[in-house]
Structure 1
Amino acid sequence: MSTPPLSVQRLIASLGIDAKGAWHRLSGGQTNQLWLLVEAGLVVKLFRPGAESPLFPNLPRQEALMLGHLAPMDLAPELMHVADCAEGVVLVYRHVVGTPWQQDPARAATLLRRLHQTPPPEGLRPLAGGSDQVLAQAAPLLHGLPHAQRAALLALRPETPVAASTQTCLLHGDPVPGNLLMRDAGDMLIDWQCPAQGDPVEDMALFLSPAMQLIYRGSPLTQAEETAFLSAYDDTAITERVQQMAPWHHWRMALYCAWRAAKGSAAYAAAFELERDALIRARAPAGS
């Protein structure tokens, strides 16, 4: 719908916001509904109950926490209000003019490195990474797949375990191209509904994912772009862990794409092919 439900409009009016101007539906979010209240320069975000997935929680209070924590550092938009209505939780925050990331991998890496070096607030979910975590996340995804596809993906499951990370940092939790906002005044991240604290490679794997790049940018990263991204992040130990975890991360994302496709998403059906191919390459012996 081009305007929010009446309960959302009434809530906005009760907050003392002049909502008589034009509403513009924003198309960026795939989980929740967003509108730009043009004259007020505010974004109104309605969280859809039940929109979470096994990989991506949908936590409005956590997003409010992160906007309050990061806006003073210019890493996230400024939160104005958080309130409940009949349709769900609503966040209102300042509209920030920018462009979703499309090119220049070094710029994306610099933004994520800056985020990962920022002290996290208390109360974030842990995301320590490693193969045990992937297996736990995979269980509900596998359960939602047709038997033949489940068997095929289980046959591709990596065999070499990887320990959880000993490094802990602030994670966005969903740093796909659409959530990295490029601006002359300083790049920032949006859509903070699933933040975490843990292994920085978790964020990096989502950005590097061929499936997520296809969904949000229209094409996967080239090898040169992947190399540029890792080089700009400039941490040899993290680059090694990205490569070590690559089979597990590609397997997890292939499962997620298959799970979304089984629920009727044609876009994720196409993305699945890319992620499965990346998984097969990552599983291949070195030099083959």
Structure 2
Amino acid sequence: MADTLPTNTKDSPSASSSTTPTPPHRSSSLSQSVTTKFQNLIDAPGSTNLISIYACFLTGLTSSPSFTACYIWCGFQTGNVAQLGLAIARTFSPLGERTYGFQKPDQQALTSLLSFWLGTSLGRLGDKIGARRRTWLVLATFIQALLAMAAALAAHYCGQDGIATHRGDPSWTNPSGMAALAFISATMGIQGIVGKRIASPMNTTVVLTTTWVEIFNDPLLFAFKYTPSRDIRIAGGFAVFVGAFVSRAILDGGGQAAALGALAGFRMIQCIWWFFIPDKPVKADKA
């Protein structure tokens, strides 16, 4: 009987397939791709027109709850500064018209102003990371979403309905209400510096006074064709209007916490949107 040759297990197909080195993990390359995406600069201002218009929508969405509650524009700080000047001037009025003490509307104006300052000062962190780097833009927007969530919780637990009947009787007068005002004012401060650094056509995307000036002094204001310098800015102004309308509709239907919770959701949309903004084109070196 012929001797049976021993099977060389090293040369068998099954053995070779089990010992074949596995290719590099796809997860590693994916993580590198995500990291690179985060580190890249976005194409600004070239590809940021739509997200800037969306930011204007968020301005209206954010400002509506604060004005409805206490007649304070959480992003338009010019009025708050003037209001504080008037508060000090009232102490020098004639005796019959003089008021003493820091009135609640003046406290709210100061709270909004200080919170806006704190929020916009985070732009220094953005300058260190890279003001147009996707890492900073995603981080800044995520912080805004967290602040909106905190504002929703504070407004919910403040025990007030968030709708002022007249200027002399504002809502958000207790510490929780003041915290809600502070949180959304800080979000506007962050948005302002982000809009400024990416060179948005709407400037800061928070205050549109300069935008209106530029619209009505555009040499192509009455041109019957698409004019980016005019049309994008007009779209931004209209977006503020729509944002305020939507916010008030949510507030009437679900209350102040629902309106601020929706704001947090809209912020997360913006957070994801930054990943779809094209990277800054890399210029080829000249030979």
Identify the TM-score tier after normalising by the shorter chain.
under 0.3
Normalising by structure 2, we get a TM-score of: 0.22
- Between Structure 1 and Structure 2, which shows a larger proportion of helix residues? 2
Structure index of larger Rg: 2
Normalising by structure 1, we get a TM-score of: 0.22
Greater RCO, 1 or 2 (C-alpha within 8 Å, sep 6+) = 2
- Between Structure 1 and Structure 2, which shows a larger proportion of strand residues? 1
